[in-house]
Amino acid sequence: LALGALDRAAGFGERIAARLERGQKLLFKPNLVNAHNIDPGTLGPGPGSTACTEWPFVAALMRWFHDRMGIDYHRMALGEASTTIPAAAHLFSSLNPEGRPVTPQAVIEGRAGGFYGGWGFYFVRRYLAEGLAPGRTDDPMRGYEESVAGLELPPGRAPDRLMVYDLNRLFDDPSKGRRVPVPDGINFRSITLHKAVVGGAPDDPADRADWPGCVLVNVPKLKVHVITLLTNAIKNLGIGLYPMQWSEAGGRRWDYASPHDEVPGIKSGIPHEVWVPEIDPRTDLPLTDASGRTVARKTGGIDATMIDVIKATQAQDVFMLHVVDAVETINLDHQGIGWGEKVPEGLILAGLDPVALDLLSARYLFGNVPMARAVEVDLDDGAGGRFPQAVPLAAVQDGRIVTRQGFDCPLARDLSLARAEARGLGRRTYHVIGRDLESGSPIVSIQGRPGLDVAGRFEDLTTSTLYYALFKMPWDLQRTSLSYLAAVDQLTGSSLERDFIEAMAGTGADVVRYEDFGRKGMVTSIMHLSGRLANTAAREPFGWHKARFVIMSRILKASSPAFNVHGADPLKEYCLGFACLSAWQMSLFNEERPDPFRPGLTWGRGRWPSFQLAWFVHVGRSLYGDGFPETIGAASMFSNALFYADMVQNQGRLTIEAGREPESQAAVVNRYIAGLRDGRPPNLDFTLYVPLLYDQIGGAPLPHVEATADPARVLTVRFNAGGEVWPEA
């Protein structure tokens, strides 16, 4: 219904048909940011199931083009340049009991021979094949074997196949890529992209016949994001088209990704913040000069990174259609690492203008106030709209910090759409048409707000969910975070609120915009650390445990001068956001408890803790999980060290018992500790060095833990009497 309404209004069908006559194919580009959609161990949903465009959504979309527009499946293709696919292919290859490599294309398929794991395009093929009318010859299963073998036949040489293209991998055959100019480029003057997207060289008829270009069907998943306001139409192309495995100079020094070996883990070579630091390859943290200042260069930030690549693609005469999977949106985290939550919004959005589509999507996600109330709230979203977000605020009352209700407008702090409009990607104006399948009512819009036309009466469509990203609370829930810091300042005489704003946005600023990350290289550091995590998890035996431990250790060490020998704090403000998150979550606790760091203060039942306690809890949760200070949880430094020791010293007996569910893993860890206190084996050989005051759980000293004030030793773990140390010095 969404595409039919759009076609009637915009007439994209005729334009697509004309391009297909010239030999182009429909190239579907989903968001597969975490390709672990199907768990190879359980064959059930993997962590990527809260991150990826749903494969049934793509199946339905392909079938619509086939059944409604008469486009053969062999005139379609699918391509992706997900950050996790190189690492997933390496990891799955090591897990495959058949002993054969699992290619990146097979990761996208979700099946390689008898091995299952990855996204699930194989099942798209099966669904489409089962619905194929008798006598049709465009079998969608043709092309699957090429995926398993890692073969990428150019579209011009695959007239009878539905091909999958790994848009990351260009180094093995540079002829698959083409360097294209960026009109008015800011971060890049030119970019190398896969010819499946931009086509062959216009002045080379043979190359153009092999690679005729595409009709790009952008199929993002509507989600919150850890850096940008949201991830949707613009970001799915603006980051998702850059190839990870390409080096202009040759070798493995990738132009757009790191680490610089055969398994890059993230696109850290493209600017994700305005001030991009030089990174120490040993620590993945910023380098500093003799005065202690971060060595950094100024860029156009992530906005320019995204706009540059879309402008470069548009300039190659690529026609784009954007279809958003918002049937279940993703809240809290977009990465597919365990914290994201699916929200059943039941929306399908489509358009030819990515700017307008992203504005509509952002207004829906971050505007949870119905229209009648929203017009009374004096908050403009920067594009003339009234889409406030109802949020909790902290305030001082009778010497305590209590919860009040207020409003915020995240969209007003975002400049990306205005910049995209200024550079010609689209416009920040739109109107909505469609139909609600449940009621049968037409969908229309008033002043940018979608709603139902119910017998001539407008009923607005407004989410009831508070959307924000856990990893950037001070940017998304900014009024919430700053009100808490201001309340702490009022009680203690500190300057947390002003210090944070000035560190991120500069002296004199009164708001932190989405592009404001300071000059210490915070975002770039997190990118490089995340890339190392993916690389280590894929390459090293039991690398997942080491990778998770090391990234948490590096982040904590870089958050405080007391935790590292350099006395630096490049990630102080990043971790301050987690302290704000802890404080808010503690205010929601259903029992009121005293604050041990500030006499007279309590937390829980709408009361917020002191900042010292919120910070204490944040560090404790990193060390021991969400059960801190009473119990140990699964996603913690301690549990990752324990399960690694179990694998290398105890034949994985505890790991097997724990299984894959976090609750079961936490139960096994806590039973192990109880058994150790009672003198029962096994007694694994590892020692976790923690800051002072963190060596107890449930009020009792914890085995395998030693408190220390030594900045070199704190937040490290040693195995086998010091024979192995994480992270390396």
Amino acid letter at 78?
A: L
Does residue 218 sit in helix, strand or coil?
A: strand
Instruction: Provide the pLDDT for residue 660.
Output: 86
Residue 333 falls inside a structural domain:
yes
Residue 498 pLDDT:
98
pLDDT of residue 2: 84
14, 131: one domain: yes
The domain boundary, picked from 452, 469, 486, lies at: 469
Residues 459 and 382 in one domain: yes
- Judged against a pLDDT cut of 90, whether residue 237 lies above it is answered with yes
- Average pLDDT over every residue of 490-498: 98
- Evaluate whether residue 198 is within a structural domain: yes
Q: Are residues 309 and 389 in the same domain?
A: no
Q: Residue 353 has what pLDDT?
A: 98
Looking at the domain assignment, is residue 610 inside a domain? no
- Judgement on whether residues 146 and 69 belong to the same structural domain of the protein: yes
**426 contacts: CB under 8 Å, gap ≥ 6:** 353, 354, 355, 356, 357, 420
The CA distance from 348 to 356, in Å, is 15
- Tell me, yes or no, whether 313 lies in a domain: yes
209 pLDDT band, cuts 50/70/90, is very high
Clarify whether residues 189 and 89 are in a common domain.
yes
Contact 702/623 with Cβ under 8 angstroms? no
Whether 721 maps to a domain, the answer reads: no
pLDDT tens digit sequence for 659-715: 988 999 999 999 999 999 999 999 999 999 999 999 999 999 999 999 999 999 999
**Per-residue pLDDT tens over the stretch 93-128:** 999 999 999 999 999 999 999 999 999 999 999 999
Type and span of the H or E element at 687: strand 686-690
**Do 173 and 319 fall into the same domain?**
yes
For residue 522, being part of any structural domain is answered with no
- Average pLDDT estimate for 559-569: 96
Residue 320 backbone dihedrals phi, psi, to 5 degrees: -120, 140
Cα separation, 441 vs 452, whole angstroms = 6
Contact indicator for 460, 221 with CB cutoff of 8 Å: no
Segment 613-663, tens digit of pLDDT: 999 999 999 999 999 999 999 989 999 999 999 999 999 999 999 998 899
| pLDDT tens string 41-91 | 999 999 999 999 999 999 999 999 999 999 999 999 999 999 999 999 999
Domain shared by 441 and 317, yes or no: no
Considering the domain architecture, whether residues 171 and 311 belong to the same structural domain is answered as yes
Q: Is the same domain home to 120 and 202?
A: yes
pLDDT in tens, 346-372: 999 999 999 999 999 999 999 999 999
The token pair at 186 is 């800011």
Q: Both 440 and 336 in a single domain?
A: no
Same domain flag for 315 and 228: yes
State percent of the chain over pLDDT 70: 100
pLDDT at 729: 74
Peptide bond into 629 cis (omega under 30): yes
Residue 298: inside a domain, yes or no? no
What is the reported pLDDT for 226? Answer: 98
Count of domains observed in the chain? 2
pLDDT of residue 252: 95
Residue 415 pLDDT: 98
For residue 613, being part of any structural domain is answered with no
Of 88, 129, 127, 92, which is closest to residue 112 (Cα–Cα)? 92
pLDDT at 1 over 80: no
Q: Provide the domain limits for residue 384.
A: 360-365+374-409+426-469
Task: Note whether 388 and 328 are same-domain residues.
Answer: no
Mean pLDDT for the chain? 97
Mean pLDDT value of segment 553-571: 96
Residue 344 corresponds to which amino acid? P
Pairing of strands 686-690, 705-707: parallel
Contact (Cβ atoms closer than 8 angstroms) between residue 308 and residue 188: yes
pLDDT band at 339 (very low <50, low <70, confident <90, very high): very high
pLDDT in tens, 598-609: 999 999 999 999
Q: pLDDT digits over 422-447, tens only? A: 999 999 999 999 999 999 999 999 99
